[in-house]
């Protein structure tokens, strides 16, 4: 009988992602409840110094694959090393955060292991008989379901950023460090990352942001998003956009919230000049608080907003930015 | 060159989802579309064909007979042939069983490049194309926003959190399309007329050489426990004072009532 909960730790710009800390926070609690070992798995190069931060979260074991061939993500290298590890150690459960890397990796590994993976989960609970039950959004949040893996092991799931939440570290336990010897034939790696364009050091990804300031058709022009950038900066948040704004060419698609963009669950979603089309609401419906600013009192967005201001956003946003600045001063 | 496009028919993005008394999604009055990401995949295949000339595009889908509409649309846009896996036993499975059925179909046709959408907007899972690549033992580039085909090599832009990776890969390979890859065309009248004469093959379990245990709900690892609608969000408070009062009140509410600032 396989045992143990693994969480796959992800690095971005050589730092542990916030979503990985969510996995560490939740994983420890599940391991306690199921009375299983809790293991963090870390891939990369020159990464040993990061294990201290991981250990703070009460892991029983850290599996470290520290190798130049794992410095940059490639499907073949990561999938091979991870699949071999899982086959050798037979964890019962492997959790990931739902990132670009994991979207590429997890289905590969799952198919190789002939198991399922519940992707982009927004919730999880343990049933009385010790099975993980995962909540997933369908139609970008217009519908939900709960799924589980009755027999196939390991149970695998990827979690949407902010779905689990980060908690304070539970403290260092007796940590066993296991360094993996990476055996990879470079000729077997079928994809080659030639370069990374437009590399940003500190840009927050929309799905991970706790606060999103989002603009729609009412923003009228690309340059007006500067107002939202300023507000987002004061709040430490990220800027999103509706499909109308993206299709008008005002923002990049990576900013789009909705059914053909990202589904987000921030603590606060400030919708500016967004009417609230069904496909947009689906993508932000699970935000904890929604603020709508729109001059049209009939706009759909007001039907789901916790707080609304019916007014010209070009006047409201700068005042709001000033007010938050004052508050922080 | 042979290109295969994986295509799924989905509800329109503006569709409102409702459940009947048995918790099944009500499909009356629903408009259907080609999954938008699969449409980017198809458009890219057609552009490659226009550029290289000697290309055959085969669209492969799985689902009820209604999907024939989506396949006719794909043929009208410029695909050459299409295959629909239509067999009740193939349905109701998970991403693994869907990939098994699709890859078994693809093994029967020559291919150099397979393109699918990065995710379907209905189940939002984003796994099937990658699982197909694994079963066929070919590499994949996921979340592609730009694609250049040169001889037997691809250069693909892949959207990640920190920027855009430029990835090189040799054919045969799987590509999954992200929004931004292209702007899909509308079928022209001539294309619509031609589509009626193009091949639309319907296959079932027996044609795939698979057994009932490998597909559909029998072969699935993930099982659905329940399906439910989101808790309705109620309209909150519209602030009705002067603009500067409203802004101050909003900040106060976010701080004292919502406690999130």
Q: Which domains does chain A have, with CATH numbers?
A: 5-188 (3.40.50.620), 206-328 (3.40.50.1220)
DSSP string, A2-16: ---EEEEE-EETTEE
- The reply to whether omega before B251 is within 30° of 0 (cis) is no
Q: How many CB atoms lie within 10 A of CB B223?
A: 15
Render pLDDT for B165-186 as a digit per residue (tens, 0 to 9).
Answer: 999 999 999 999 999 999 999 9
* DSSP character at residue A74: -
C-alpha torsion sign, points A105, A241, A309, A326: positive
- Report the predicted TM-score, pTM, of the whole model to 2 decimal places: 0.93
Residues of B in contact with A253 (CB under 8 A): 145, 178-180
Judged by DSSP in three states, A35 sits in coil
Which residues is B202 bridged to in the sheet? B84
d(CA B144, CA B157): 5
d(CA B9, CA B31): 10
Percent pLDDT > 70 in chain A is: 98
Nearest to B14 among A145, A278, A320 (CB): A278
d(CA B66, CA B10): 11
Q: Which residues lie below 8 Å from residue A72, measured CB to CB, with a gap of 6+?
A: A193
Render pLDDT for A267-290 as a digit per residue (tens, 0 to 9).
Answer: 999 999 999 999 999 999 889 999
Sole residue written with tokens 């599996």: A63
Query: Please, what is the average pLDDT of chain A?
Result: 94
User: Which residues does chain B have with pLDDT short of 70?
Assistant: none
Contact A253 B179 (CB under 8 A): yes
Asked if pLDDT for residue A30 goes beyond 70, the answer is yes
Q: Specify whether the CB–CB gap between A121 and A135 falls below 8 A.
A: yes
Q: What is the pLDDT of residue B54?
A: 95
Q: What is the pLDDT of residue A203?
A: 65
Asked if pLDDT for residue A1 goes beyond 70, the answer is no
Asked if pLDDT for residue A204 goes beyond 90, the answer is no
Contact A268 B131 (CB under 8 A): no
ipTM of the prediction: 0.94
Q: Specify whether the CB–CB gap between A164 and A26 falls below 8 A.
A: yes
Please state which CATH number belongs to domain B2-219.
3.40.50.620
Asked if pLDDT for residue A293 goes beyond 80, the answer is yes
Q: Find the range with the poorest average confidence among A104-108, A197-201, A228-232, B224-228.
A: A197-201
Nearest chain B residue to A268, by CA:
B260
What pLDDT band is residue A80 in, cutting at 50, 70 and 90?
Answer: very high
Pairing of strands B32-34, B9-11: antiparallel
* DSSP character at residue B104: H
| CB hemisphere CA count around B161 (13 angstroms) | 26
Closest CA to A231 of A241, A240, A239, A221: A239
Judged by DSSP in three states, B2 sits in strand
Judged by DSSP in three states, B34 sits in strand
Distance from CA of B222 to the nearest CA of A (A): 5
Contact A278 B258 (CB under 8 A): no
Asked if pLDDT for residue A202 goes beyond 60, the answer is no
Q: What is the pLDDT of residue A201?
A: 57
């Amino acid at each position: 009988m396989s045992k143990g909960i693994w969480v796959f730790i992800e690095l971005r710009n050589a730092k542990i992602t916030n979503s990985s800390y969510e996995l560490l926070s939740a994983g420890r609690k599940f391991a306690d409840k199921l009375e299983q070992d809790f293991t963090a798995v870390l891939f990369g190069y020159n990464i040993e110094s990061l294990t201290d931060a991981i250990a703070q979260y009460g892991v029983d074991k850290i599996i470290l694959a520290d190798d130049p061939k794992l410095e940059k993500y490639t499907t073949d290298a990561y999938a091979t090393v991870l699949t071999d590890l899982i086959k050798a150690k037979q964890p019962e459960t492997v959790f990931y955060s739902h990132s670009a890397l994991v979207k590429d990796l997890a289905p590969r590994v799952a198919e190789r292991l002939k198991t399922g993976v519940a992707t982009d989960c927004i919730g999880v609970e343990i049933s009385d008989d010790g099975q993980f039950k995962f909540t997933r959004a369908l139609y970008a949040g217009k519908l939900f379901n709960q799924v589980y893996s009755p027999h196939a092991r390991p149970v695998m799931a990827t979690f949407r950023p902010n779905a689990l939440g980060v908690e304070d570290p539970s403290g260092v336990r007796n940590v066993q460090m296991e360094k993996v010897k990476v055996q990879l034939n470079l000729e077997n790696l079928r994809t080659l990352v030639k370069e990374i364009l437009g590399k940003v050091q500190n840009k927050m990804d929309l799905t991970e942001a706790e606060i999103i300031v989002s603009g729609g058709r009412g923003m009228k022009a690309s340059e007006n998003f500067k107002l939202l950038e300023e507000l987002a900066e004061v709040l430490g948040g990220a800027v999103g956009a509706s499909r109308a704004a993206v299709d008008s060419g005002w923002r990049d698609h990576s900013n789009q919230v909705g059914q053909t963009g990202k589904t987000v669950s921030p603590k606060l979603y400030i919708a500016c000049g967004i009417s609230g089309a069904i496909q947009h609401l689906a993508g932000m419906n699970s935000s904890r608080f929604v603020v709508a600013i729109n001059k049209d009192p009939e706009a759909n967005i007001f039907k789901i907003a916790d707080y609304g201001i019916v007014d010209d956003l070009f006047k409201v946003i700068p005042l709001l930015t000033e007010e938050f600045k004052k508050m922080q001063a | 060159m042979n290109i295969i496009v994986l295509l799924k028919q989905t509800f329109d993005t503006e569709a409102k989802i409702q459940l009947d008394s048995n918790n099944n999604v009500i499909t009356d009055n629903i408009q259907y579309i080609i999954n938008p990401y699969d449409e980017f995949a198809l458009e890219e295949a057609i552009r490659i064909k226009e550029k290289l000339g000697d290309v055959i595009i085969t669209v492969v889908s799985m689902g009820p007979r209604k999907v024939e509409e989506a396949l006719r649309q794909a043929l009208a846009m410029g695909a050459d042939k299409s295959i629909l896996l239509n067999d009740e036993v193939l349905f109701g499975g998970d991403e693994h069983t869907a990939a098994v059925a699709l890859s078994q179909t693809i093994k029967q046709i020559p291919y150099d490049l397979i393109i699918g959408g990065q995710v379907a907007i209905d189940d939002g899972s984003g796994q099937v194309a990658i699982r197909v690549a694994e079963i066929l033992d070919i590499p994949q580039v996921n979340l592609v926003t730009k694609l250049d085909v040169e001889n037997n090599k691809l250069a693909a832009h892949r959207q990640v959190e920190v920027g855009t990776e430029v990835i090189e890969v040799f054919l045969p390979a799987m590509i999954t399309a992200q929004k931004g890859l292209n702007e899909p065309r509308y079928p022209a009248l001539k294309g619509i007329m031609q589509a009626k004469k193009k091949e639309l093959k319907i296959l079932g379990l027996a044609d795939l050489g698979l057994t009932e245990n490998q597909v559909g709900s029998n072969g699935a690892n993930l099982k659905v426990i329940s399906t439910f609608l989101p808790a309705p969000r109620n309209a909150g408070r519209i602030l009705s004072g002067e603009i500067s009062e409203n802004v101050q009140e909003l900040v106060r509410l976010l701080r004292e009532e919502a406690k999130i600032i």
